[in-house]
């Protein structure tokens, strides 16, 4: 009987093991090795404990554009397994997913335990061996005349041999060192999906306020990222900030997280259009105090902050604002500058940009191009997505492709 080792008891590792057995006409010897005390730890904390399983986006091309690294490779992969397939797989196991207004998908129970329970039941049902606190010390390829086997040495001093290995260990430097020793190129890992810390600014006194559609970028560099933006006690968070951290992960790392940030608090409304709107306000609401007749989208405290930054008395009437006042205010809102000085942790989702080079992997099968019977899934690869369920979808898709190829190879489909 062929023996299969899966290194990593996270989302992609467990899903790969389940999928192999599910595709089988007979049970195979599959062992999942997890170094920590419990499996599926990222699933448990994702989405604030609700588990953001995937995203409601079924166009493979549009879906692939949500990945700062791996777009080209995942474009084909999503043709084979995409969010609608994820939804159907969970439905077949009695787990119903719901769609939120921003496209994120969660179990209707709003609990990650629903997903974890589903996986654990399937692991038990499929008679998959799950070993906890079973860390790997090394992987050695034992090449023989007629075949090759993988020798795994564990941290407890024991060892074992397997015919097929799936590396699903996530962002793990030790795993990357093993693969580098076996001839694979490793793309240096850097953090992605983090919050943005800024130098001392009075805007942090507004912590908790958010704008539903703001744009942010590194000043004079890169693309604007437009999404909800949240003011925090140390800087900025929310989807817009997190997307910037993903797309500019390497740039910000190289800058040591010291960068000039530019924010347009109204998203795609530019300063010229906003200035014209202010002239209309001046004409229509001339006798009103500017603090009482604000641009509708702004929370009152944020509007008053803009007035203060623009050195405009909030008790002034619209009719009394000069051309320079209106232009200064429009620029303050649409070209707001802050100095980033640090990165923070986004507790609901942590991802690394980097890992095993995509060039060393066949993305139709997730098998190594260098060593047969060695597969890679999930975040161990140099693939990462923005926040919103996209990183878990990468886990489901790559695990499925690996499982299908293994099933086909063993002629068990």
Task: Round the CA-based radius of gyration of the chain to a whole number and report it.
Answer: 25
Asked if 40 and 116 count as a contact pair (C-beta separation under 8 A), the reply is: yes
Residue 28 is predicted with a pLDDT of 86
DSSP letters along 245-310, please? HHHTHHHHHHTTT-EEEEEETTTT--HHHHHHHHHHHHHHSTTSBTTTS--TTS-HHHHHHHHHHT
Question: Which residue do the tokens 């190829």 mark?
Answer: 405
Strand pairing partners for 10?
none
Q: What CATH code would you report for 3-191+349-409? A: 3.50.50.60
What are the b/e assignments for 176-203, b being 16+ CB within 10 Å? bebbeebebebbebebbbbbbbbeeeeb
CA geometry: angle at 260 spanning 255 and 264, to 5°?
A: 135
Question: Which residue do the tokens 């229509």 mark?
Answer: 284
* CA count, 13 A, side-chain hemisphere, 192: 25
* CA count, 13 A, side-chain hemisphere, 13: 30
Backbone phi and psi for residue 106, each to the nearest 5 degrees, phi listed first: -135, 160
Asked if 278 and 321 count as a contact pair (C-beta separation under 8 A), the reply is: yes
What are the b/e assignments for 369-389, b being 16+ CB within 10 Å? eebebbbbbbbbbbbbbbbbb
Asked if 206 and 302 count as a contact pair (C-beta separation under 8 A), the reply is: yes
In terms of Cα–Cα distance, which of 19, 12, 13, 11 is closest to 40? 11
How far is 326 from 262, CA to CA, in rounded Å? 19
The helix (run of H) or strand (run of E) holding residue 20 is helix 11-23
Residue 413 is predicted with a pLDDT of 44
Classify burial at 23, counting beta carbons within 10 Å of its beta carbon; exposed 0-12, middle 13-18, buried 19 or more. Answer: middle
The helix (run of H) or strand (run of E) holding residue 182 is none
In terms of Cα–Cα distance, which of 116, 7, 8 is closest to 53? 116
Residue 412 is predicted with a pLDDT of 52
Classify burial at 219, counting beta carbons within 10 Å of its beta carbon; exposed 0-12, middle 13-18, buried 19 or more. Answer: middle
In terms of Cα–Cα distance, which of 152, 132, 154 is closest to 33? 132
Question: Which residue do the tokens 């941290």 mark?
Answer: 155
Residue 146 is predicted with a pLDDT of 61
pLDDT in tens, 377-405: 999 999 999 999 999 999 999 999 999 99
Q: What is the pTM of this model?
A: 0.94
Residue 20 is predicted with a pLDDT of 96
In the chain, domain spans = 3-191+349-409, 194-345
Instruction: Tell how many helices (H) and how many strands (E) occur in the chain.
Output: 13, 21
SS3 state of residue 260? strand
State the sign of the Cα–Cα–Cα–Cα dihedral 339, 214, 224, 220. Answer: negative
In terms of Cα–Cα distance, which of 4, 383, 396, 393 is closest to 171? 383
Asked if 154 and 134 count as a contact pair (C-beta separation under 8 A), the reply is: yes
SS3 state of residue 247? helix
Query: What sections of 95-155 are H helices per DSSP?
Result: 112-125
Residue 111 is predicted with a pLDDT of 98
Beta-carbon contacts of residue 328 (< 8 Å; ≥ 6 apart)? 310, 311, 312
Strand pairing partners for 310?
none
List the chain pLDDT tens, one digit each, 413 residues: 789 999 999 999 999 999 999 998 777 899 999 999 999 999 999 989 999 999 999 999 999 999 999 999 999 999 999 999 999 999 999 999 999 999 999 999 999 999 999 999 999 999 999 999 999 999 999 877 466 799 999 999 999 999 999 999 999 999 999 999 999 999 999 999 999 999 999 999 999 999 999 999 999 888 999 999 999 999 999 999 999 999 999 999 999 999 999 999 999 999 999 999 999 999 999 999 999 999 888 999 999 999 999 999 999 999 999 999 999 999 999 999 999 999 998 777 779 999 999 999 999 999 999 999 999 999 999 999 999 999 999 999 999 999 999 999 887 54
């Amino acid at each position: 009987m062929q023996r299969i080792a899966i290194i990593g008891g996270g989302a992609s590792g467990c899903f790969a093991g389940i999928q192999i057995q599910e595709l089988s006409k007979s049970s195979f010897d599959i062992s999942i090795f997890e170094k920590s005390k419990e499996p599926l730890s990222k699933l448990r904390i994702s989405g604030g404990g609700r588990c953001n399983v995937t995203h409601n986006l079924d166009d493979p091309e549009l879906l692939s554009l949500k990945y700062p690294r791996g777009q080209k490779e995942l474009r084909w992969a999503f043709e084979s397994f995409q969010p609608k397939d994820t939804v159907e797989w969970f439905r077949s196991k009695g787990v119903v997913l719901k769609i939120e207004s921003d496209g994120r998908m969660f179990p209707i129970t709003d609990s990650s335990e629903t997903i974890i329970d589903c996986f654990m039941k399937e692991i038990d049902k499929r008679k998959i061996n799950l070993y906890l606190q079973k860390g790997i010390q090394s992987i050695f390829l034992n090449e023989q005349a007629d075949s090759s086997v993988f020798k795994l040495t564990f941290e407890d001093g024991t060892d074992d041999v397997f015919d097929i290995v799936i590396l699903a260990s996530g962002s793990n430097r030790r795993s990357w060192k093993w693969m580098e020793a076996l001839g694979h190129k490793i793309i240096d890992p850097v953090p992605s999906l983090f919050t943005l810390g800024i130098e001392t600014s009075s805007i942090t006194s507004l912590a908790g306020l958010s704008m539903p559609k703001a744009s942010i970028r590194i000043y004079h560099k890169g693309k604007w990222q437009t999404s909800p933006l949240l003011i925090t006690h140390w800087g900025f968070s929310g989807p817009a900030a997190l997307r910037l951290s993903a797309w500019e992960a390497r740039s910000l790392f190289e800058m040591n997280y010291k960068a000039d940030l530019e924010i347009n608090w109204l998203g795609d409304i530019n300063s010229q259009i906003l200035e014209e709107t202010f002239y209309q306000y001046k004409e229509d609401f001339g006798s009103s105090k500017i603090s009482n007749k604000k641009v509708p989208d702004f929370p009152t405290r944020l509007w008053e902050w803009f007035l203060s930054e623009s050195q405009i008395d909030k008790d002034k009437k619209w009719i009394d604002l000069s051309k320079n006042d209106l232009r200064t205010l429009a620029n303050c809102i649409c070209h707001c500058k802050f100095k980033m000085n640090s990165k923070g942790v986004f507790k609901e989702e942590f991802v690394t940009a980097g890992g095993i080079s995509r060039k060393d992997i066949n993305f139709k099968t997730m098998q190594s191009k260098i060593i047969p019977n060695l597969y890679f899934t999930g975040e161990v690869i140099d693939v990462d997505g923005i926040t919103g369920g996209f990183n878990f979808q990468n886990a489901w898709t790559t695990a499925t492709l690996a499982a299908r190829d293994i099933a086909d190879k063993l002629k068990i489909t």
